[in-house]
Structure 1
Amino acid sequence: MQKIVLNGITWGHSRGITPLLAVSQRYSELHPDVEIRWKKRTLQEFADFPIEELTKEYDLLIIDHPWVGCADATRCVLPLNEYLSADYLRDQQTNSVGLSHISYNYNNNQWALAIDAATPAASYRKDLLSDVPQTWDDVITLAKQGKVAVPAIPIDILMNFYTFCIANGAEPFQNEDEVIDEVTGIKAIETMKELYSVVDKKMFSRNPIAVAELMTTTDDYLYCPFAYGYSNYARKGYAEHLLHYTDVVSFNGKRLRTTIGGTGISVSAFSKHKEVAVDFAAMVTSGECQSTMYVQHGGQPGHRSAWTDTAANHLTNYFFTQVLPVMDNGYMRPRYNGYLHFQDHAGDPLQDCLEYDGDPSKALQEMNKLYQQSLSKQTAVTA
């Protein structure tokens, strides 16, 4: 009997690849006629190559939720609500980590299942820092001592811009004229300048993984106020020094709301083995698998049962219980078809403004142009 081979594409960090390899191996043991092969790409490669093109080559795809507007427009992945039971999807919704599950639902179709959940959270070296910042002023004080690391590549700065718009009183993307009103936008950028003007300039080339590596391989930095969390760095034996994760600080008396990330698993509409691919997706995102094999092999589950599981928290020095309040308070980005054009480019003028002490109003003008372009791309596809 000829084997069924499923090809999958994911991202090349231990959090992204290792648990998939483990669960796929077990799936093949349970279904000897099925083999699942995974290819890994860098996060940048994912950004540079349209996912809709990858659906022609791969049966299973690990995606980011802002892409689901494109999925809805192109129908290149399956609406999983047409393949999975209502009870299964109800369990996924009930056990969502923050807005993770609903972030893959667009126009009443479920384009992916939340396999992984993440949001920017604070992290620190417990062996070096006893007085963990609780307020924004505490962060700035520590940053001025040169002890704060923070990801400052364009995409991370943009995600934090959303956070500081909310902190200064308004959510972005509330109308089609501008990303945010000018008063709030300028306040947000000026607030961010307080931090980014005093951290080491090399942060402007560091993403969250690079910051976590920096903090766990050297003693130069004690604290990071917000970076997409990786439970791997909180696990004994993974890195030279452990990171401990905690809630983000308060700003004007309220906890910051960070911008949720994580990933979902989609099934290509072009797959020759749709039912098998859906069955695997359902297995790997089930509460049973997520709270056992998935988390045990380096995963950061999208199912709430794993986040509240005692063994999972012992394994990660309570990463999950510490970060869960941040997840539950998280902000969800837009997902309209065309948004990714904005996300791919809007961090550039923002980074220039923060790195070189530029004019916030000019940065906002450039961002608004990109916003209008992204909306016109949506119109062009749907017209």
Structure 2
Amino acid sequence: MKHRFPRRSLLGAVLALGLCACGSSGGSSGSSGDSAGSGPITWASFKEPTGTLRKVVDGWNAAHPDAKVTLVDLPEAADAQRQQLVQNAQIKSTAFDVVTLDAVWTAEFAANQWVEPITGLDASGFLTPSLRTGQYRGKLYAAPWLTGAGLLYYRTDLLKKAGIAGPPKTWQELTDDCAKVRKSVDIGCYAGQYDKYEGLTVNVTEAIDSAGGHVLDASGRPALNTPEALAGLRFLTDGLKNGLIPKAALTYQEENGRRAFEAGELLFHRNWGYVYALAGKTDGSSKVAGRFDVAPLPGRIGPGISTLGGNNVAISAFSKHKKTALDFIRYVTGAEAEKTFGLGSAYPMSRLALYSDPAMVKAQPYLPTLATSIQNAVPRPEAVRYGDVTTAIQEAAYAALRGQQSPEQALSGLQAQLGPLTAH
């Protein structure tokens, strides 16, 4: 989950062109000795709370009684999902035929030959940034399915009451807006996800990019010894020191932060697009329904840079039924299935047309804002040893956020640690 993508019209962004050891541990033979054969398959994916994903799978199964798909839920946390998929791949388990990969895992799974190159997939219609997250060394290894970028949720009612016309575009504006609102309201200013897990890598990378820096340079080498990288990390560490960011945010993952925003405890909140529908519920679960909106993230001297998120789908190298796996990937990433899933789940999808589809925009009014964020988004650091890279980032950043190291010490140590991990 590569390269900074140039700013351009979104319409121009289309590319025209569970550790389970069941089954055989060898992955090169199909059910009748044909590794490209057809037959029932298993899809290992994250647990989707609305039930819409199972409806999408049911649609396939109704039309393909001899090649049904069994959906297997992976653990909730991204780190645990990756661990289970890696462990399965390392023992060459045939338990999974199709796997859902966080967009940043492509290089690791492709380089280790744990997933197959995908050929014959019509790439037209996908968002270019989303499509690129599935590529490794010029080949497509994972088909774009879900996408997304970080968004700034903000309280429209409190900004209006304080005489503020719109959301902040810079960190200084965010700080000033909070000070104005706090003159009459006791509320936390801002929070993202700062617990020591994958979300911290996302938030720290986002802050560094939004300050004009980079974790890795264009050649894939660490680039943390710059004033811009330091400014990005300092925005977070200083925020925790001066109260801009509540101390409780050191325990926030996505759901903790979402609940805090919905409870009216935060003026500004960084999170993903899925929060929009939940925070807007009028069943009493959200205290901010009808009183918030979203905007692109602010940055050091102008609009910030979001981290490109998303999930792609890939064919396990050890699948017995790779033909069915490919056919199913074409189905689940197709326009009809993506629209069905998007409408029912509020997850942002990888197909460009859905961002201007009237039914989609009516159901998810934040889509035009999200489209802007996606076209300017930057992936997390791409590395074959991504698990080691993200662990190093989390350890260093968390030490700085907790005041156990200065930002300078944290970045200096991380610069040295990432060198061997990203060596080509």
TM-score by length of 2: 0.77
Q: Aligned-pair distance for 1:236? A: 4.1
Of 317, 320, 339, the match for 2:367: 320
Query: 1:207 — aligned with what?
Result: 253
- Alpha-carbon distance in structure 1 between the residues aligned to 2:221 and 2:360: 45
- Cα deviations across residues 194-219 of structure 1 (Å, max 9, x unaligned)? 33332221211111232113222x12
CA contact (8 A) 1:259 1:333 kept: yes
Query: 2:285 — aligned with what?
Result: 240
- Alpha-carbon distance in structure 2 between the residues aligned to 1:219 and 1:176: 41
Task: Return the letter of the residue paired with 2:367.
Answer: F
Of 19, 44, 62, the match for 1:29: 62
Structure 1 residues 297 and 166, CA, compared in 2 at 3 Å: closer, same or farther?
closer
Query: 2:233 — aligned with what?
Result: 189
Q: Which runs of 5+ in 1 are unaligned?
A: none
Task: Return the letter of the residue paired with 1:38.
Answer: L
- Alpha-carbon distance in structure 1 between the residues aligned to 2:238 and 2:84: 35
Map 1:75-90; keep pairs closer than 5 Å.
75-81=113-119, 84-85=120-121, 88-89=122-123
Q: Aligned-pair distance for 1:142? A: 5.0
Does residue 345 of the first structure (1) align with residue 392 of the second (2)? yes
Q: Aligned-pair distance for 1:61? A: 0.8
- Alpha-carbon distance in structure 2 between the residues aligned to 1:296 and 1:280: 20
Q: Aligned-pair distance for 1:250? A: 4.7
CA contact (8 A) 2:43 2:99 kept: yes
CA contact (8 A) 1:295 1:306 kept: no
- Cα deviations across residues 296-352 of structure 1 (Å, max 9, x unaligned)? 244321111122211112112x12112110111001233231133111231222122
- Alpha-carbon distance in structure 1 between the residues aligned to 2:337 and 2:304: 32
- Alpha-carbon distance in structure 2 between the residues aligned to 1:267 and 1:312: 29
Task: Return the letter of the residue paired with 1:208.
Answer: E
Does residue 150 of the first structure (1) align with residue 195 of the second (2)? no
Query: 2:340 — aligned with what?
Result: 292
Structure 1 residues 257 and 142, CA, compared in 2 at 3 Å: closer, same or farther?
same
Q: Aligned-pair distance for 1:355? A: 2.5
Query: 1:117 — aligned with what?
Result: 147
CA contact (8 A) 2:211 2:299 kept: no
- Cα deviations across residues 59-91 of structure 1 (Å, max 9, x unaligned)? 11110122211222222211112xx24xx12x1
Task: Return the letter of the residue paired with 2:191.
Answer: A
Q: Aligned-pair distance for 1:373? A: 3.6
Q: Aligned-pair distance for 1:52? A: 6.1
How many residues align structurally?
361
Tell me the SS of whatever aligns to 2:153. Answer: strand
Structure 1 residues 294 and 227, CA, compared in 2 at 3 Å: closer, same or farther?
closer
Please report the RMSD computed on the Cα atoms of aligned residues, expressed in angstroms: 2.6
Query: 2:223 — aligned with what?
Result: 179
Of 295, 305, 321, the match for 1:257: 305
- Alpha-carbon distance in structure 1 between the residues aligned to 2:113 and 2:213: 33
Which of these two proteins has the greater Rg computed from alpha carbons? 2
% identical equivalent positions: 16
CA contact (8 A) 1:66 1:340 kept: no
- Alpha-carbon distance in structure 2 between the residues aligned to 1:12 and 1:237: 24
CA contact (8 A) 1:167 1:251 kept: yes
Of 208, 220, 233, the match for 2:265: 220
Task: Return the letter of the residue paired with 1:180.
Answer: L
